Chains A and B, each alone.
Chain A
């Protein structure tokens, strides 16, 4: 379908799809099997300026919007959601600085992210704070000219690989949600270490670790925005980053369809190619319907966000939920179409099915997204 992309957006698609076809697809099975962080591929993407897409031109980026991000991420997701997750986490890690950082912080960190010289990460989740961020126990206490951070973040994408971490910590417990703040942590800060790489069901090439802070002292000016504004920035960050997860889902599902259709044309049973069976055709048709409708919703949401309306939580939640549930179904059906061969590691669809699951969980589970949508509906019709 023609989505009326600008010439520049088409360039983004072309570059990202070239990276996927030439670099990611040939390596993805091996990266997954060995749990290898795809640093070389990410460096290549940085060289092609993909890391700079949302970063303003004044800080060495391309000055693009949400639509530009989803176009790039969709293509990378078509190749490998693990690479796509590692890539998108850079945006997640740098949005707080872009949204609420000081001029000095922007000048110091954004050009490094835009060029890909340094990777970024986002640390919110803890062992007792998943869907419910009010359970955060990590604290930051001002001591003279330094903040002292204590606590442990869990399951942080790009942990150990990134240089710049946007970390949420409690600065004033008495104030509840208004007592959280975001800090910029740098790899190498004294008292900041990493847990081992987690072993995962899918997206195995991405790195997921704990961030451990033991009397970690950082300069006073590493706080992002005013103390107590952390959750507001977190919500704004997730609102604009969720369409990125949705576009990973669209890309992933497209990748699965791209495997399933040629297979169904070539696989013969009962004397005909299995695509001749209407039951198989209908599976494929439903996959295509799901992909195209999710893509249309993701693009529409991204363009809506780029127009800077006041509240984007609901649409952002809708596109994330719709596209990631679709990707889970489409990748499962791709395995079904390919039968036992699809279940074997010789074909990429089993990995796609494993990778799809995370999309329904991270950046706010799909249940939590439905809560957001439901609560807004409740308010709207009151």
Chain B
């Protein structure tokens, strides 16, 4: 089975903060990591390969040349091949242009039986890229997968996490899944993997080699515009309830009703 995992380099959120003066993210000195959800997607791909006793796992990213480090990490974690799609022309891509670019890259790689993505990227947070790619590729997708129950060369049975439990879905291959964190626990990289990562040849694609149209990529291909980025003002209103638990609950009920009626809560 040919599996492509889409991985994105994101700033380490534990180190990022918004500059309150300029309302922009301070990215300086912040290290880049593999999007945490994508680590789980990669782990699942490697486990599927191990379970099936063969196949190929390709990690694919669209990003600047610095994303190479993350691709090497992907090899240490079990990817067989790594592909960097990089071009100045991709700068400023929104989710529409990103999914267009990745779809073209996947086609340039000859397609895949299964495409795995994270549920969302922890910086952009839209959760749109996976489904966007599936729509463009004309293949079925399942989001928020928490377990792959069965797998063979033609179909998968998966569990989709829902607010109130989970759905069990059968999906024909080729297909795209986006995964949540409780699907697995990513492994620690192996020594042999790290040695291989050091030497691996990173395959490179650009706008030309994926046959992308100039008006579909980067800023020109991005219909969404960021009007303003800001940290929401702290609302600051806190009410502390006093008394026994029963008294507090009674007060809470009154306040909730007031809230529901649109009255000001004091």
A residues with CB within 8 A of B = 7-8, 11-12, 14-15, 18-19, 22-23, 44-45, 47-50, 52-53, 62
Tell me the chain B residues, 188-207 only, with Cβ under 8 Å from chain A. 188-195, 198
Selected contact of B188 from candidates A7, A15, A53, CB within 8 Å: A15
User: How far apart sit A52 and B195, CA to CA, in the bound complex (Å)?
Assistant: 14
| Residue B51, interface by CB 8 Å | no
User: How far apart sit A25 and B191, CA to CA, in the bound complex (Å)?
Assistant: 21
User: How far apart sit A7 and B191, CA to CA, in the bound complex (Å)?
Assistant: 11
User: How far apart sit A62 and B195, CA to CA, in the bound complex (Å)?
Assistant: 10
User: How far apart sit A47 and B195, CA to CA, in the bound complex (Å)?
Assistant: 14
Shortest Cβ distance from A53 into chain B, in angstroms?
Answer: 8
Evaluate contact between A44 and B191: CB separation under 8 angstroms.
no
Known: A11-B194, A22-B188, A45-B188. 4 other contacts (CB 8 A): A11-B195, A15-B191, A15-B194, A48-B189
User: How far apart sit A14 and B194, CA to CA, in the bound complex (Å)?
Assistant: 10
Q: Which residues of chain A are within 8 angstroms of B188 by Cβ–Cβ distance?
A: 15, 18-19, 22-23, 44-45, 47-48
| Residue B187, interface by CB 8 Å | yes
> What total of chain B residues lie within 8 Å of the partner, measured CB to CB?
10
User: How far apart sit A8 and B194, CA to CA, in the bound complex (Å)?
Assistant: 9
Query: What 3 A-B pairs come out closest when comparing CB atoms?
Result: A49-B191, A49-B190, A11-B194
Q: Which residues of chain A are within 8 angstroms of B192 by Cβ–Cβ distance?
A: 49, 62
Selected contact of A48 from candidates B190, B195, B198, CB within 8 Å: B190
Q: Which residues of chain B are within 8 angstroms of A50 by Cβ–Cβ distance?
A: 191
Chain A residue at minimal CB-CB distance from B197: A11
Evaluate contact between B190 and A8: CB separation under 8 angstroms.
no
Q: Which residues of chain B are within 8 angstroms of A7 by Cβ–Cβ distance?
A: 198
Shortest Cβ distance from A146 into chain B, in angstroms?
Answer: 38
User: 1/0 per residue B193-223: CB within 8 Å of A?
Assistant: 1110010000000000000000000000000
Shortest Cβ distance from B250 into chain A, in angstroms?
Answer: 38
Evaluate contact between A8 and B195: CB separation under 8 angstroms.
yes
Chain A residue at minimal CB-CB distance from B194: A11
User: How far apart sit A22 and B191, CA to CA, in the bound complex (Å)?
Assistant: 17
User: How far apart sit A286 and B188, CA to CA, in the bound complex (Å)?
Assistant: 34
Chain A residue at minimal CB-CB distance from B186: A22
Chain B interface main SS type:
helix
User: 1/0 per residue B175-193: CB within 8 Å of A?
Assistant: 0000000000001111111
User: How far apart sit A11 and B199, CA to CA, in the bound complex (Å)?
Assistant: 14
Evaluate contact between A47 and B194: CB separation under 8 angstroms.
no
Evaluate contact between A15 and B190: CB separation under 8 angstroms.
yes
User: How far apart sit A331 and B188, CA to CA, in the bound complex (Å)?
Assistant: 29
12 residue pairs from A and B, CB less than 8 Å apart: A11-B191, A15-B188, A15-B189, A15-B194, A18-B189, A47-B187, A48-B190, A49-B192, A49-B193, A50-B191, A53-B191, A62-B192
Shortest Cβ distance from A203 into chain B, in angstroms?
Answer: 23
Q: Which residues of chain B are within 8 angstroms of A8 by Cβ–Cβ distance?
A: 195
User: How far apart sit A331 and B194, CA to CA, in the bound complex (Å)?
Assistant: 34
Q: Which residues of chain B are within 8 angstroms of A23 by Cβ–Cβ distance?
A: 188
User: How far apart sit A12 and B76, CA to CA, in the bound complex (Å)?
Assistant: 13
Evaluate contact between A52 and B191: CB separation under 8 angstroms.
yes
Chain B residue at minimal CB-CB distance from A45: B188
Chain A residue at minimal CB-CB distance from B189: A15
Tell me the chain B residues, 79-112 only, with Cβ under 8 Å from chain A. none
Q: Which residues of chain A are within 8 angstroms of B198 by Cβ–Cβ distance?
A: 7
User: How far apart sit A48 and B195, CA to CA, in the bound complex (Å)?
Assistant: 12
Q: Which residues of chain A are within 8 angstroms of B193 by Cβ–Cβ distance?
A: 49
User: How far apart sit A62 and B192, CA to CA, in the bound complex (Å)?
Assistant: 8
User: 1/0 per residue B155-170: CB within 8 Å of A?
Assistant: 0000000000000000
Q: Which of B190, B191, B193, B195 has the most CB of A within 10 A?
A: B191
User: How far apart sit A45 and B190, CA to CA, in the bound complex (Å)?
Assistant: 9
User: How far apart sit A130 and B195, CA to CA, in the bound complex (Å)?
Assistant: 42
Chain A residue at minimal CB-CB distance from B198: A7
Evaluate contact between B190 and A47: CB separation under 8 angstroms.
yes
Q: Which residues of chain B are within 8 angstroms of A18 by Cβ–Cβ distance?
A: 188-189
Shortest Cβ distance from B73 into chain A, in angstroms?
Answer: 11
Q: Which residues of chain A are within 8 angstroms of B195 by Cβ–Cβ distance?
A: 8, 11
Q: Which residues of chain A are within 8 angstroms of B191 by Cβ–Cβ distance?
A: 11-12, 15, 48-50, 52-53, 62
Chain B residue at minimal CB-CB distance from A23: B188
User: How far apart sit A45 and B195, CA to CA, in the bound complex (Å)?
Assistant: 16
Q: Which residues of chain A are within 8 angstroms of B194 by Cβ–Cβ distance?
A: 11, 14-15
User: How far apart sit A11 and B198, CA to CA, in the bound complex (Å)?
Assistant: 11
User: How far apart sit A11 and B191, CA to CA, in the bound complex (Å)?
Assistant: 7
User: How far apart sit A130 and B206, CA to CA, in the bound complex (Å)?
Assistant: 68
Q: Which residues of chain B are within 8 angstroms of A44 by Cβ–Cβ distance?
A: 187-188
Q: Which residues of chain A are within 8 angstroms of B189 by Cβ–Cβ distance?
A: 15, 18, 48
Shortest Cβ distance from A65 into chain B, in angstroms?
Answer: 14
Shortest Cβ distance from B209 into chain A, in angstroms?
Answer: 32
Shortest Cβ distance from A42 into chain B, in angstroms?
Answer: 12
Chain B residue at minimal CB-CB distance from A22: B188
